[in-house]
């Protein structure tokens, strides 16, 4: 079976099912993937990246949880078929071309004896650097709301970047500064940290951040430093749902959202360099679709990253969105972005692993 014989629609429906309820993975498959139990398969360091990251035909990446409570209802199973991995869904069988490993620096410490994974983690070809532990906000879907808030030294991020850049297990091709949001007291520290990482990185650097002002100063500084792209996340569109799901962030940042995105698009243009993530499953489907239209109308690329409950978040018992809702959302969103001349993001294909995006959705590579 090769990519030419795989129905693209089957691949789409299979990925959608994986994003909704993950996969069922029998013991023999887990034994095979973990080399007899000697290698870890997943780190639950963030809800949308815990699971198996697999590459399907036509370069479709998908991250599928396999050990969360909702996986018991998964409609997709990962199986061994004549020593080859496949995903078996109700719509057909899709071969798994490869399963991405975890990075090789999990036990590595920097020259000051600080664990690299305290501030860094690679997903596909992206290295995430986190300037803060914990978060200034209290979003109910996120596991950064509960740990104690702490700023990480700039030199620790630079040291982790240099170590991860040399990893031969999971090669890094670009960097994302992300993680917890700073308190107002640390807005300038956050911006300076981003500038330092950009200046010291051998790779393109994207910055994911919550809006901090309405005059564009943070965006201007990041662009002047040479940032590759900005992710300014909306997360929940409907005002009432946003105030319920991300109360502190909504009150502090929402009034700055539109001018921040508009300034970013003004400076970086369209075509993948400005994007905004929205989380299906945290509000009515119609509100999420309206949010996609709002984002597209601002000239940025909407990114659809479905909600996943995790054991250490307030919404741990809230179900993920259904396959039907995600299918409808994808169809509606494709029409919307076409109307506004933008694309579903992200434009980086490996980074689509936890998003409702496919390589053929990206018209303009960043």
Q: What pLDDT, in 10s, does the model give residues 191-235?
A: 999 999 999 999 999 999 999 999 999 999 999 999 999 999 999
In this structure, are residues 344 and 304 in contact, taking their beta carbons and an 8 Å threshold?
A: yes
- Give the model's confidence band at 271: pLDDT under 50 very low, under 70 low, under 90 confident, else very high: confident
Please state whether the peptide bond connecting residue 346 to the residue before it is cis, i.e. omega within 30 degrees of 0: yes
Quote the mean pLDDT of the chain.
Answer: 94
Residue 45 has pLDDT above 50, yes or no: yes
Side by side, which strands form the sheet with 84-89? 77-81, 84-89, 92-95
What is the pLDDT at residue 363?
67
Residue 99 has pLDDT above 80, yes or no: yes
Q: What is the mean pLDDT of residues 240-246?
A: 97
What is the pLDDT at residue 1?
46
In this structure, are residues 80 and 28 in contact, taking their beta carbons and an 8 Å threshold?
A: yes
What is the pLDDT at residue 303?
98
What is the pLDDT at residue 308?
95
CATH class of 116-361: alpha beta
In this structure, are residues 146 and 137 in contact, taking their beta carbons and an 8 Å threshold?
A: no
Task: Give percent of the chain with pLDDT exceeding 70.
Answer: 97
> Taking the CA atoms of the chain, what radius of gyration do you get in angstroms?
20
Render 73-128 in DSSP notation, one character per residue. G-S-EEEEETTEEEEEETTEEEE--EEPPPPTTTT-B-TTS-BGGGTEEEETTEEE
In this structure, are residues 156 and 112 in contact, taking their beta carbons and an 8 Å threshold?
A: yes
Q: What is the mean pLDDT of residues 13-39?
A: 94
Q: What is the mean pLDDT of residues 243-251?
A: 97
Q: What pLDDT, in 10s, does the model give residues 159-175?
A: 999 999 999 999 999 99
If you search the block for the tokens 């309405």, which residue do you land on?
214
Residue 272 has pLDDT above 50, yes or no: yes
- Give the model's confidence band at 5: pLDDT under 50 very low, under 70 low, under 90 confident, else very high: low
Task: Give percent of the chain with pLDDT exceeding 90.
Answer: 89
Task: Give 37 or 149, the one with higher predicted confidence.
Answer: 149
Residue 4 has pLDDT above 60, yes or no: no
Q: What is the mean pLDDT of residues 258-272?
A: 96
Q: What pLDDT, in 10s, does the model give residues 104-149?
A: 999 999 999 999 999 999 999 999 999 999 999 999 999 888 889 9
What is the pLDDT at residue 2?
47
Q: How far is CA 135 from CA 181, 192, 235, in A?
A: 5, 18, 16
- Which part of the chain is CATH 3.20.20.70? 116-361
Q: What pLDDT, in 10s, does the model give residues 295-335?
A: 999 999 999 999 999 888 999 999 999 999 999 999 999 99
If you search the block for the tokens 């990925």, which residue do you land on?
15
Q: How far apart are CA 190 and CA 46, in angstroms?
A: 21
């Amino acid at each position: 079976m090769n990519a030419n014989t795989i129905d693209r629609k089957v691949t789409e429906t299979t990925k959608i099912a994986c994003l909704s309820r993950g996969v069922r993975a029998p013991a023999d498959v887990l034994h095979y993937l973990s080399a007899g139990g000697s290698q870890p398969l997943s780190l639950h360091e963030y809800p949308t990246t815990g699971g198996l990251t697999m590459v399907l035909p036509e370069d479709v990446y998908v991250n599928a949880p396999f050990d969360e409570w909702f996986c018991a209802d998964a409609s997709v199973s990962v199986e061994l078929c004549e020593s080859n991995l496949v995903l078996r869904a109700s719509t057909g069988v899709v071969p798994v071309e490869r399963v991405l490993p975890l990075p090789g620096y999990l036990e590595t410490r920097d020259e000051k004896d600080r664990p690299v994974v305290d501030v860094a983690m690679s997903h596909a070809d992206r290295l995430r650097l986190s300037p803060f532990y914990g978060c200034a906000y209290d979003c109910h879907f996120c596991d950064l709301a509960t740990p104690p808030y702490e700023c990480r030294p700039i030199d620790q991020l630079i040291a982790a970047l240099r170590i991860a850049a040399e990893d031969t297990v999971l090669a890094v091709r670009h960097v994302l500064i992300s993680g917890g949001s700073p308190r107002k007291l640390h807005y300038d520290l956050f911006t300076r940290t981003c500038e330092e990482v950009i200046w010291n990185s051998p790779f393109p650097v994207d910055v994911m951040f919550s809006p901090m002002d309405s005059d564009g100063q943070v965006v201007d500084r990041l662009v002047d430093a040479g940032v590759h792209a900005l992710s300014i996340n909306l997360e929940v569109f409907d005002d009432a749902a946003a105030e319920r799901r991300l109360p502190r962030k909504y009150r502090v940042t929402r009034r700055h959202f539109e001018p921040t995105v508009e300034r970013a698009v003004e400076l970086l243009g369209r075509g993948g360099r400005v994007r905004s993530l929205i989380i299906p499953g945290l509000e009515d489907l119609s509100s999420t679709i309206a949010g996609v239209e709002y984002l597209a109308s601002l000239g940025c690329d909407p990114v659809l990253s479905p909600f996943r409950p995790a054991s250490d978040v307030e919404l741990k018992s809230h179900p993920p969105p259904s396959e039907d809702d995600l299918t409808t959302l994808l169809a509606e969103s494709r029409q919307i972005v076409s109307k506004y001349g933008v694309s579903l993001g992200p434009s980086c294909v490996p980074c689509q692993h936890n998003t409702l995006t496919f390589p053929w959705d990206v018209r303009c590579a960043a």
